[in-house]
Amino acid sequence: MKARIFMYLFIFTVLLVIFQYVNSKNILDNYEEKLDRYEANEAEMTKKFMALEDENLDLLYFNLENNDDALSYFERDGYKTDELIPFIKDQLISLNEYKGDEHPLVPYASMTEGKILVNKIRMLNHKWIIADFSDGQNWGELLLTYEIDDKKELKFKVVDHLLYPPNSY
């Protein structure tokens, strides 16, 4: 009788060990599979991140804040660029507060009941600005030059402009 009990205990122990081994192997395989997926996903995300970083650097190329030569142009004249750049943008946006139908810079009249407003501004360097304008339905862009004269007055001049054709949908 004692021998049978030990035999049953031995068989039960062997079955328990086999079950534990199979279960642990399945868990380990599952973790390895997940780890491989995460590593592949990380590699893909790293590639996407690098591509976005390159694209961001390309977009920042024509930008006054990243153009040391243009910034030094202002600094040589004694301007603080961290104050001057927002001032120039504010002055351009303040031209949106005009009386009548004609915007001081935009050479197009509004084709809707709304006023034409300058929406977005990108300062390319110490001389040029690209600006986007709209009356709510019609859109266009301006290429401007700007300068600060001897009297410390800011002057804008339209170099070129375009108005996109209206969408017909």
Q: What strands lie across the sheet with 154-163, from one edge to the other?
A: 117-123, 128-134, 139-148, 154-163
Query: Domain segments of the chain: what residues?
Result: 1-59, 64-163
For residue 64 the two structure tokens come to: 């006054």
pLDDT at 57: 87
pLDDT at 167: 72
pLDDT per 10-residue tile (average), the chain, 169 residues? 86 92 93 95 96 90 86 88 91 90 88 89 93 91 92 91 80
Is the pTM higher than 0.85? The answer reads no
Taking the alpha carbons at both ends of the chain, their separation in whole angstroms is 92
Q: Which residues pair with 46 in a beta bridge?
A: none
